[in-house]
């Protein structure tokens, strides 16, 4: 009976056809989880900048729970619906946009910001089912897609350096490097160097180990309190769950324009992240067909969209596919069983909440800086010799970190692109929808 069940299990995930085995898929799942598990403390640290503005109680543990649950649901659905070894979790960069731009700068209450995430997930489902997703993704020029990814990378790296106290404010020069006379910037800088060393050596889970070793050093020298326990049964996230539904009731007429703009930005960013990640890992693992398309793309996009909906209900920002899945694919992961196991590991991680919540914010700087490096690697793909492509792309990359706002960088890029093209006599190269998007961003400056 057991052998019959195992045969059906292998047949469900097509292990034999994919030339893999249960042990190989398990190793791939563990590798992927270790590589991306840094998101548990890092996402909670970033989102706390938004939620703690209005909530006096410590919600760090609830944010970790929301992160783990949404990652588990998205990854499990990816494994079952699409049978791909690709894991999902709340996206880096999108979480920074949520916390610092939407709540911090635009002033939307965080429950209303969660409502925008929920609405974005629902729209993503509808666009996927109707086939309009491809049309929207294709209308954005590749140079802006690359610039957005790189700009977000620089932005979150800047956030990491700032949170660690490595970059500090200065009246004369706006910002400057610290003097390294306290433990947080010293340990964060050493953690960044250690993580860079581990990444360069190709160590599996390098970012995870960089964060954990930095946190351990902080506990040892007294720069942060030790965890109160090793294992603890997680509590229901009562302060966060369902706030995305509550947020709709908080929407004021004067906030409607900002709310719709945020939803649109979240939708575009999620789609670009998903398309880019699927393309990258698809080439690596040989999933693409002769036309260069994913055979089961519908299931993959639906897993992403439903994961986002679940994440919003539990209290976290947009869920997206993770390029760190490539680590598991590199060791042999080829089926959805890998993603299914990654989801299980995220659920198991909920037992270690005391350790995760005790990690100080400066210990996450290595993760933010190194992820920034990975996101900026696409910069050579910008056609720098064509100024009509290079100028808008450069403005996106420049403005995001300097304005401390992803939305401002997007606005500058989408406004300047059609204008520069028109000035060069290349207005016909601009998709009509881009002109509409430019008008929306310009109007946003008059509404706020």
pLDDT value of residue 346? 95
Q: Which H/E stretch holds residue 90? A: strand 88-90
- Does residue 167 share a domain with residue 69? yes
Choose the final residue of a domain: 336, 362, 380.
380
Give the β-pairing of 174-177 and 167-170.
antiparallel
> Has residue 242 been placed in a domain?
yes
Cβ–Cβ < 8 Å for 255, 113 = no
pLDDT tens-place string over residues 44-95: 988 987 765 555 456 888 999 999 999 999 999 999 998 899 999 998 878 8
- Does residue 435 share a domain with residue 324? no
Query: CA-based angle 408:301:248, to the nearest 5?
Result: 55
321 has which bridge partners?
A: 88
How far the first Cα of the chain sits from its last, in Å, is 65
In terms of Cβ atoms closer than 10 Å to its own Cβ (0-12, 13-18, 19+), residue 7 is: exposed
Choose the final residue of a domain: 365, 380, 395.
380
| Sign, CA torsion 338/291/301/51 | positive
- Does residue 299 share a domain with residue 432? no
pLDDT tens-place string over residues 433-447: 788 878 877 876 765
- Does residue 181 share a domain with residue 157? yes
Structurally, the chain folds into a number of domains equal to 2
- The Cα–Cα gap between 134 and 440 comes to 21
> Has residue 2 been placed in a domain?
no
pLDDT value of residue 347? 95
- The Cα–Cα gap between 137 and 127 comes to 11
- The Cα–Cα gap between 312 and 110 comes to 11
- The Cα–Cα gap between 56 and 229 comes to 23
- The Cα–Cα gap between 411 and 433 comes to 14
pLDDT value of residue 56? 46
E strand residue ranges, 92-197: 167-170, 174-177
CA gyration radius, the chain: 21
pLDDT value of residue 417? 94
- Does residue 439 share a domain with residue 366? no
- The Cα–Cα gap between 188 and 179 comes to 13
Contacts of 346 (CB under 8 A, 6+ apart): 33, 37, 68, 69, 71, 72, 75, 89
- Does residue 290 share a domain with residue 271? yes
What 3-state DSSP class applies to 176?
Answer: strand
- Does residue 411 share a domain with residue 283? no
- The Cα–Cα gap between 47 and 95 comes to 7
| pLDDT-flagged residues of the chain (< 50) | 56
- The Cα–Cα gap between 68 and 60 comes to 12
Domain that holds residue 437: 383-447
- Does residue 147 share a domain with residue 236? yes
> Has residue 1 been placed in a domain?
no
> Has residue 86 been placed in a domain?
yes
- Does residue 179 share a domain with residue 100? yes
Cβ–Cβ < 8 Å for 372, 160 = yes
> Has residue 136 been placed in a domain?
yes
> Has residue 11 been placed in a domain?
no
Token output for 275: 């398309």
In terms of Cβ atoms closer than 10 Å to its own Cβ (0-12, 13-18, 19+), residue 17 is: exposed
- The Cα–Cα gap between 243 and 220 comes to 38
> Has residue 116 been placed in a domain?
yes
Q: Which H/E stretch holds residue 359? A: none
- Does residue 406 share a domain with residue 282? no
Choose the final residue of a domain: 334, 353, 380.
380
- Does residue 391 share a domain with residue 371? no
- The Cα–Cα gap between 280 and 248 comes to 36
- Does residue 274 share a domain with residue 316? yes
Query: CA-based angle 76:78:82, to the nearest 5?
Result: 135
pLDDT value of residue 358? 85
> Has residue 280 been placed in a domain?
yes
């Amino acid at each position: 009976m057991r052998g019959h069940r195992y045969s059906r299990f292998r047949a469900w995930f097509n292990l034999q056809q994919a030339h893999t085995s249960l042990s190989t898929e398990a190793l791939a799942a563990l590798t992927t989880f270790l590589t991306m598990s840094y998101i548990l403390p890092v996402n909670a640290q970033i989102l706390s900048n938004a939620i703690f503005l209005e909530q006096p109680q410590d919600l760090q543990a609830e944010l970790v729970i929301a992160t783990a649950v949404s990652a588990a649901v998205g990854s499990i659905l990816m494994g079952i619906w699409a049978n791909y070894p690709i894991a999902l979790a709340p996206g880096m960069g999108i979480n920074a946009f949520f916390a610092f731009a939407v709540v911090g700068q635009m002033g939307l209450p965080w429950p209303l910001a969660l409502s925008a995430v929920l609405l974005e997930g629902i729209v993503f489902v509808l666009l996927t089912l109707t086939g309009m997703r491809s049309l929207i993704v294709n209308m954005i020029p590749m140079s802006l897609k690359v610039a957005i990814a790189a700009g977000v990378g620089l932005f979150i790296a800047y956030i990491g350096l700032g949170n660690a106290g490595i970059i500090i404010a200065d009246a004369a020069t706006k910002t400057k490097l610290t003097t390294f006379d306290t433990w947080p910037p010293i340990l964060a800088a050493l953690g960044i160097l250690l993580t860079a060393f581990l990444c360069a050596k190709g160590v599996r889970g390098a970012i995870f180990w960089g964060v954990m070793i930095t946190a351990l050093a902080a506990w040892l020298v007294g720069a942060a309190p030790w965890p109160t326990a090793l294992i603890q049964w997680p509590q229901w996230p009562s302060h966060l769950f369902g706030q995305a539904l509550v947020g709709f009731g908080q929407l004021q007429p004067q906030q409607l324009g900002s709310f719709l703009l945020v939803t649109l930005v979240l939708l575009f960013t999620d789609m670009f992240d998903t398309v880019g990640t699927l393309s990258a890992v698809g080439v690596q693992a040989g999933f693409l067909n002769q036309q260069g398309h994913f055979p089961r793309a519908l299931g993959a996009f639906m897993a992403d969209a439903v994961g986002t909906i679940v994440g919003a209900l539990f209290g976290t920002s947009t869920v997206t596919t993770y390029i760190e899945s490539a680590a598991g694919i590199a060791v042999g992961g080829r089926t959805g069983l890998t993603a299914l196991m990654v989801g299980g590991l995220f659920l198991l991680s909920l037992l270690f909440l005391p350790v995760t919540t005790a990690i100080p914010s400066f210990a996450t700087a290595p993760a933010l800086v190194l992820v920034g490096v990975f996101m900026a690697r696409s910069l050579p793909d910008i056609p720098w010799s064509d100024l009509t492509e290079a100028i808008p792309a450069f403005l996106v990359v420049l403005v995001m970190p300097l304005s401390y706002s992803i939305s401002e960088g997007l606005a500058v890029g989408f406004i300047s692109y059609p204008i520069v093209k028109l000035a060069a006599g290349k207005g016909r190269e601009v998709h009509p929808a881009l002109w509409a998007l430019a008008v929306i961003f310009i109007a946003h400056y008059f509404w706020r």
